[in-house]
Amino acid sequence: MKLTYNVLCVDDDIRTLDETKTYLSGLNINVGIETKYADIEVKPGAREEPDAFWMRIVGEIEDSFAENTYDMILVDLHMPLDVSGVDVIEAIREHHTIYRPIIFYSAGTPKTDDKALEQLNAAITGAKLLGKGVFITSRGDLISQASAIFSEMHKEEHKVNRVRGLLMDSVSELDASIVELVQDDRLWDLVPEGQAKNKIVTEFNGCLQKDCDEASTLLKSIKQLDANAIQGFIKSNPKDISTYRKGHLLRAILKQAKDFKPFADVLKDGVEGDESLRGVRNVYGHTTVEELEEIHTEEKCIYIRNESRRQLKNINNIHELLDS
């Protein structure tokens, strides 16, 4: 399951796609998916020769695919200097992706839907691109065609195994970030000595106490440590403190560090309780698909996407504030 769809747009007048982009972005965000667009505007420069113009377009396509994997590609038929959308599609299919859906569109010359479809069909048939994941549509029906494809993709994205994949990736990234941050001296240094650090010790020991059977030996060994000693213990014994407990510790640190309390409030929704992102991950990770089908809904998919994005953004914000 994805958090973002990347869409490549190839047209000689990208502005004509503004309405389409806005609509598709709204359609996808309704299920928690952001849409990012990369544009290649096929316009020749002053006195640019046809061969040089085409090689430049090929280079821009190369650069775009080097940076992103695209979930959908929009290609116009009519372009300047004898370049055709067919040339663009052939370059993409031959060198970059053989299966991502490409929507091939045109307003038609003259501008009618029937003429557009006639010209698109002729172009596709002549280039032997039929059956290669190329969908043709008039420019007037472009939104409808792209929406139908995205809606079908949403159904696939929302299957339980896809959702499990996103949960595992997102929570693993969150856990790895927590492990990194609780060992960051800069964050600890922002906590005032005295009562603030004592609160961290109290919260951390309380977290260990909840798991008293498992953590009794560990609790005995560190319950007399102050905050500075706990910091040193974690660095020297990274495997002795679980990621679960490190999440509680990080939240305790953030609550006491100047300007970081809002991040602690967000982190709580990521790591604490059955309704947190981690709690949902545990349910999906320890429940059979058959049982999950009874409780799995589109609303859960939307929550998982939005909360995953929110938690990872929260971590990035912590890093940015530390680096500022």
Over residues 8-21, the mean pLDDT reads 95
The answer to whether the beta carbons of residues 106 and 124 sit under 8 Å apart is no
Output the six-digit token pair for 169. 């990736």
Residue 104: its pLDDT value, please?
93
Q: What are phi and psi of 297, to 5 degrees?
A: -135, 165
Q: Which helix (H) or strand (E) holds 6?
A: strand 4-11
How deeply is 97 buried, as exposed, middle or buried, from its count of CB atoms within 10 A (0-12, 13-18, 19+)?
Answer: middle
The answer to whether the beta carbons of residues 52 and 20 sit under 8 Å apart is no
Residues 6+ apart with CB under 8 A from 181: 187, 250, 315, 318
- Return the half-sphere exposure (C-beta side, CA atoms, 13 A cut-off) of residue 146: 31
Flag whether the pTM goes above 0.75. Answer: yes
pLDDT per residue as tens digits for the range 220-234 = 555 556 677 677 777
Please say if the pLDDT value at position 10 is more than 90: yes
Please say if the pLDDT value at position 81 is more than 90: no
pLDDT per residue as tens digits for the range 172-223 = 999 999 989 988 889 888 888 888 888 888 877 776 655 545 455 555 555 5
C-alpha span between 76 and 91 (Å, rounded): 14
**CA dist 69 to 97, 246, 318, Å?**
9, 34, 28
- Which residues in 23-150 belong to E strands, given as ranges? 34-41, 72-76, 102-106, 134-138
Residues 6+ apart with CB under 8 A from 55: none
- 36: helix, coil or strand? strand
Least confident of 59-63, 81-85, 125-129: 125-129
The answer to whether the beta carbons of residues 33 and 60 sit under 8 Å apart is no
How many other β-carbons are positioned within 10 Å of the β-carbon of residue 60? 16
Exposure string of 284-310, with b = 16+ CB inside 10 Å and e = fewer, is beebeeeebeeebeeebbbebbebbbe
Indicate the domain borders of the chain. 4-157, 160-323
pLDDT per residue as tens digits for the range 246-287 = 888 889 889 988 899 999 999 999 988 888 999 999 999 899
- Residues 221, 222, 225: CA angle, nearest 5 degrees: 135
Percent of the chain with pLDDT over 90: 51
The answer to whether the beta carbons of residues 254 and 263 sit under 8 Å apart is yes
Superfamily of domain 4-157: Response regulator (3.40.50.2300)
Q: What are phi and psi of 191, to 5 degrees?
A: -90, 120
